[in-house]
Amino acid sequence: MFLSNQPQRLGGLVVANRKRDDSLDGQLIHVKGNKHKVPYRMLNGKPGNRYYVKINCDECGKEVLISASSESRCNKSYCSRNCRYKNRIAPNGKTKRKRGSKPDSYILIKSADHPHAGKDGYIPLHRHVVEMSLGRILDKNELVHHIDMDKENNNIENLDVIVGNKDHCLCHRSIQKCVRKIIDSGKLHYDREKKIYYF
């Protein structure tokens, strides 16, 4: 229940009430910067606001309005489904996508006829690159290692085949030993506030 503009008396004190302007419901209102809000009335009759931000499409640059919560969850934003799909096309014409929303996740490509494809018909791009170079399908126990630790660098020079999880774990442990020596030498430091390593 919304109060009128008439003051009310509460415990001997006169309190001036502000009436909500229902005519603004559904309208985009600028808040500050690129942030906006849309007032609305919830099912229980109480007022509420939906918050949005204006950003540029990562593919075509067109200005697009997305929810504020989506901005914090997504690495990239697009104005349309067509722009989203354009970003998923690899140079060879095959569709590619990320395995997850994290920046360091693997890139997948569509290859429904591959014997090791997932239920959605995708395989990791780095395995595809190695298979094209070797001219054969990799076994499931053959793992592809990114030499520079960058999962987006799928050049054949950056990929190496390691057989079995044991040798792959030894490979990553050797990196940890190298990092430990760099830390001991004083060249690599750790920031306790930012929770990151730096030179």
- Domain spans in the chain, listed from the N-terminal domain onward: 17-87, 90-163, 171-199
Helix extents (H) in the chain: 68-73, 81-86, 125-134, 165-184
Apex CA 128: angle with CA 95 and CA 133, to 5°?
Answer: 130
Q: Please list the ranges in the chain whose pLDDT falls under 70.
A: 1-25, 71-75, 85-104
Q: What is the pLDDT of residue 199?
A: 87
Q: What is the pLDDT of residue 25?
A: 67
Give counts: helices (H), strands (E), the chain.
Answer: 4, 13
Q: What is the pLDDT of residue 118?
A: 78
pLDDT tens digits, residue range 77-105? 777 777 776 666 555 555 556 554 455 67
Supply φ then ψ for residue 197, to 5 degrees. -95, 150
Supply φ then ψ for residue 62, to 5 degrees. -70, 145
| C-alpha 143, offset from chain centre | 25
Q: What global pTM score does this model have? A: 0.49
Q: What is the pLDDT of residue 46?
A: 79
Q: What is the pLDDT of residue 146?
A: 92
Cβ neighbours for 106, distance < 8 A, ≥ 6 positions apart: 98, 99, 124, 125, 126, 151
Please state, in angstroms and rounded to a whole number, the distance separating the CA atoms of residues 29 and 4. Answer: 23
Please state, in angstroms and rounded to a whole number, the distance separating the CA atoms of residues 137 and 24. Answer: 61
Residue type, 59: E
Q: What is the pLDDT of residue 78?
A: 77
